[in-house]
Chain A
Amino acid sequence: DVKVTQSSRYLVKRTGEKVFLECVQDMDHENMFWYRQDPGLGLRLIYFSYDVKMKEKGDIPEGYSVSREKKERFSLILESASTNQTSMYLCASSAGGRNQPQHFGDGTRLSIL
Chain B
Amino acid sequence: AQKITQTQPGMFVQEKEAVTLDCTYDTSDPSYGLFWYKQPSSGEMIFLIYQGSYDQQNATEGRYSLNFQKARKSANLVISASQLGDSAMYFCAMREGNTGGFKTIFGAGTRLFVKA
Footprint of B on A, CB under 8 Å?
30-31, 33, 35, 40-45, 48-51, 54, 56, 58-59, 90, 92, 94, 98-99, 101-104, 106-107
Contacts and interface: CB of A to CB of B under 8 A. Distances in A.
Interface residues of B, number: 28
A54 B100 CA distance: 9
B43 interface: yes
Nearest to A4: B45
Given A98-B32, A99-B50, A107-B43, A31 B102 contact: yes
Given A48-B103, A56-B101, A42 B91 contact: yes
B33 interface: yes
B61 to A, nearest CB: 11
The 5 tightest CB contacts between A and B, nearest first, are A50-B101, A101-B47, A42-B108, A104-B45, A43-B106
